[in-house]
C-alpha cells in the first residue's frame, strides 16, 4: 500500500506508485512481520504434497518468500517462484529468499529452489510464466490491479488441480498511535486512516481500466470455481513500549499516510504530524515509548477441484 503520481513507468505498476522508492520501508515491515508470517507459511504448506511448487505473487521485498522457503525446507524442499513487476523489489526478494534457502541447506539436506520471474499480472497470465503450482500466495497485490476479479481468475489458472490459492487481502487497518498523543486533537490515527481510505478509492478510480469488485473476496473465490473457501486472520502485534524498529516503522508509516492524505487532512492535524515527524521536537515519534504496532491481516483460502 503506497502512493505517487503516474510518471514512474519504469516500475510497471498500474497504481501510479513508485514501489522501488519504498523498498526500505517494505524491508522494515517484513522484519516486524517475520514471526507472524512464519506461522502462516507453515500452516499453508502443511497440506501440500512432497516437494511442491509455491508461487509468491507480488513478492515485494521478499518477507513471505523467506517464510515460504523456510517452511518448505523444514518438510523436504520444493520450489518457490517469486513474481513481481518491479525489478528492484524482485531482486531484493530473490536475494533474501536465496540466502534463506542456502542457510537452511547448511543444516539439512532439504533444498529449495528459488526462481524469480519479472511479470505484470495485469497483462501476463501467471500459469504461462510460473505455473502450475500447488500453492499460490498473493498478499495485498490484487487490489493494485485494474480488474481485481480477473486477476483472481488468472491466479486460479496457475493453481494445479487439488492445489490452493491463498489471498491475503483486507483485515483491520494497522494502528500505531495512542488515541491521545498529548498534542493536537485526540483521534489522529482514525482521521489518518479515513483519509488513506479516501485516497485508496480515488487511486482505484484513477487506475486505467479499473473494474469494481462484485463483493467480498470469499464470494470472488467461490464464483471463480474454488471449493472449501474459508478465511483466517493473523495478528502482527508489537505492544508498547516498542523496540526501535517499531518506532522507525511508525515514522515512515506516518509520513506516508500524510503524503496520501494530502488536503483531506485538516491543517491542524497536519501541524500535529509535522511535530511528530520532527526529530528536534519533544513529541518526535521516533523517540516515543507509547508507539506500538497492531495489525490484523485476513487470508482467504480456496482449493481448486
Q: How far apart, in whole angstroms, are the C-alpha atoms of residue 252 and residue 234?
A: 23
Collapsed DSSP state (helix, strand, coil) of residue 303: strand
The pLDDT of residue 79: 95
Report which of residues 147 and 177 the model is more confident about.
Answer: 177
- Mean pLDDT on 207-234: 92
Instruction: Kindly report, residue by residue over 233-289, the tens digit of the pLDDT.
Output: 999 999 999 999 999 999 999 998 998 888 889 999 999 999 999 999 999 999 999
User: Computed from CA positions of residues 122, 123, 124, 127, in that sequence, does the dihedral angle turn out positive or negative?
Assistant: positive
Collapsed DSSP state (helix, strand, coil) of residue 147: strand
Residues 291, 67 contacting (CB under 8 angstroms): no
Q: Does 212 score more than 50 pLDDT?
A: yes
Query: Residue 273 pairs with which residues in a beta bridge?
Result: none
Beta strands in the chain (DSSP E): 53-57, 78-84, 112-118, 133-139, 159-175, 227-238, 293-303
Mean pLDDT, all residues of the chain: 88
Residues 232, 212 contacting (CB under 8 angstroms): no
Q: What pTM does this model have?
A: 0.87
Q: How far apart, in whole angstroms, are the C-alpha atoms of residue 256 and residue 108?
A: 41
Amino acid at each position: 500500500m503506497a502512493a505517487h503520481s503516474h510518471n514512474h513507468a519504469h516500475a510497471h505498476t498500474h497504481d501510479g506508485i513508485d514501489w522501488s522508492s519504498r523498498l526500505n520501508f517494505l524491508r522494515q515491515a517484513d522484519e516486524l512481520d517475520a514471526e507472524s508470517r512464519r506461522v502462516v507459511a507453515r500452516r499453508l504448506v502443511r497440506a501440500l504434497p512432497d516437494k511442491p511448487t509455491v508461487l509468491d505473487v507480488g513478492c515485494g521485498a521478499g518477507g513471505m518468500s523467506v517464510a515460504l522457503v523456510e517452511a518448505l525446507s523444514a518438510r523436504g524442499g520444493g520450489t518457490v517462484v517469486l513474481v513481481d513487476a518491479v525489478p528492484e523489489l524482485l531482486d531484493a526478494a530473490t536475494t533474501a529468499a536465496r540466502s534463506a534457502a542456502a542457510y537452511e541447506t547448511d543444516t539439512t539436506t532439504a533444498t529449495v529452489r528459488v526462481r524469480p520471474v519479472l511479470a505484470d499480472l495485469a497483462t501476463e497470465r501467471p500459469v504461462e510464466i510460473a505455473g502450475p503450482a500447488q500453492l499460490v500466495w498473493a498478499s495485498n497485490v490484487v487490489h493494485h490491479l485494474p480488474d481485481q476479479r480477473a486477476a483472481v481468475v488468472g491466479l486460479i489458472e496457475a493453481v494445479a488441480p487439488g492445489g490452493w490459492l491463498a489471498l491475503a487481502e483486507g483485515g483491520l487497518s494497522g494502528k500505531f498511535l495512542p488515541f491521545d498523543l498529548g498534542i493536537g486533537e485526540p483521534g489522529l490515527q482514525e482521521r489518518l486512516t479515513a483519509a488513506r481510505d479516501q485516497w485508496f478509492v480515488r487511486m482505484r478510480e484513477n487506475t486505467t481500466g479499473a473494474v469494481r469488485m462484485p463483493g467480498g473476496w470469499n464470494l470472488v473465490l467461490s464464483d471463480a470455481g474454488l471449493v472449501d473457501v474459508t478465511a483466517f486472520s493473523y495478528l502482527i502485534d508489537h505492544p508498547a513500549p516498542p523496540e526501535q524498529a517499531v518506532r522507525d516503522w511508525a515514522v515512515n508509516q506516518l509520513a506516508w499516510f500524510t503524503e496520501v492524505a494530502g488536503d483531506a487532512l485538516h491543517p491542524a492535524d497536519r501541524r500535529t504530524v509535522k511535530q511528530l515527524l520532527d526529530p528536534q521536537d519533544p513529541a518526535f515519534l521516533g523517540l516515543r515509548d507509547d508507539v506500538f504496532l497492531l495489525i490484523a491481516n485476513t487470508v482467504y483460502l480456496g482449493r481448486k477441484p
